[in-house]
Amino acid sequence: MQYHITHRSTVDKELSKAILLLSCTDRVGLVSRISHFIFERGGNILDLDEHVDTESGMFFIRVSWNMDGFSVSTADLEDAFRPLAREFQADWKIHVTPKKPRVAMFVSKYDHCLQDLLWRHRTGEFAMEIPLIISNHEELAPLAAQYSIPFHTYTITPENKLEQERKELSLLKEKHVDTIVLARYMQVLSQQFVDAYPNRIINIHHSFLPAFSGGSPYRQAFQRGVKIIGATSHYVTGELDDGPIIEQDIIRISHKDTLKDLVRKGRDLERLVLTRALASHIEHRVLVNGRKTIVFN
């Protein structure tokens, strides 16, 4: 079951609005009760999208409304909604815009994903702040300097990995970072790091998962003689390349393509897939359902 309402003509980029993301066990009247909560406090619904997973019996909703004239202040909004959420036994979060999420970029030596994200951010495509870039190498420091973004290097070895990660986490906390993007960061994060940012670390993997996980996926695909390659963006969990998938795309290849051709074509996909995944995340359009996601358009 799906239900979608959008009033596009009323939406303005700078409009102060609230966005509710909620999941709970499905029951009769959920959409009505949530809509009434907004209506009786003077809110105008701008967008409503809901989904019921019939297999698990779970209900998911994303609804946004205009906060101008809303009778509950931003500071009191969560307290006002909490009794209803408690009744539903729901997992939920309310985000208020135009507050921008603070996103840290993690990179190694490949620059194509980072370059694309920084360019899109400069053009205003992403409503977010990038307070810092973290790397385990120095190579991309000049690129960060071009965009006037602080660049921090933490050399990682098997011996110092956990200590370096503790330093990184301390810096992220100091800079009030909400989300981390692994823009081809060629390190496996420890469980302690992942646990600090559950469902807030976004990775780009250069294959169409679950095929060719782990290292050298383009070489694996080339050796297997596949006719389609892809890219996958997913949330990071303790299992390598096994987190809930946010976005994927593919491109056809042929027997004439060399390994270099696969890498070149794949990098175009990586940029686009990571861009779309990050956009969905910072626009609060993603709900995690176990190993899967619901991504509202």
Catalytically active residues, by annotation? 241
Q: How buried is residue 251: exposed, middle or buried, by Cβ count under 10 Å (0-12/13-18/19+)?
A: middle
Give phi and psi for 279, each to the nearest 5.
Answer: -60, -45
Give phi and psi for 92, each to the nearest 5.
Answer: -155, 160
One-character DSSP codes across 76-134: THHHHHHHHHHHHT-EEEEEEETPPPBEEEEE-S--HHHHHHHHHHHTT-S--B---EE
Q: How far apart are CA 96 and CA 188, in angstroms?
A: 33
Task: Indicate the pairing of strand 44-53 with strand 58-66.
Answer: antiparallel
Q: Count other Cβ atoms within 10 Å, centred on residue 80.
A: 15
Cβ atoms 72, 80 nearer than 8 A:
yes
Q: Report the phi/psi class of residue 246: left, alpha or beta, with left for phi > 0 and alpha for psi in -120 to 50.
A: alpha
Q: Which residues, other chains included, contact 39 with Cβ-Cβ below 8 Å and sequence gap of 6+? A: 45
Q: How far apart are CA 203 and CA 102, in angstroms?
A: 16
Q: How far apart are CA 253 and CA 258, in angstroms?
A: 10
Q: How far apart are CA 230 and CA 209, in angstroms?
A: 8
Dig out the tokens for 104 from the structure. Answer: 């840290």
Q: Count other Cβ atoms within 10 Å, centred on residue 153.
A: 14
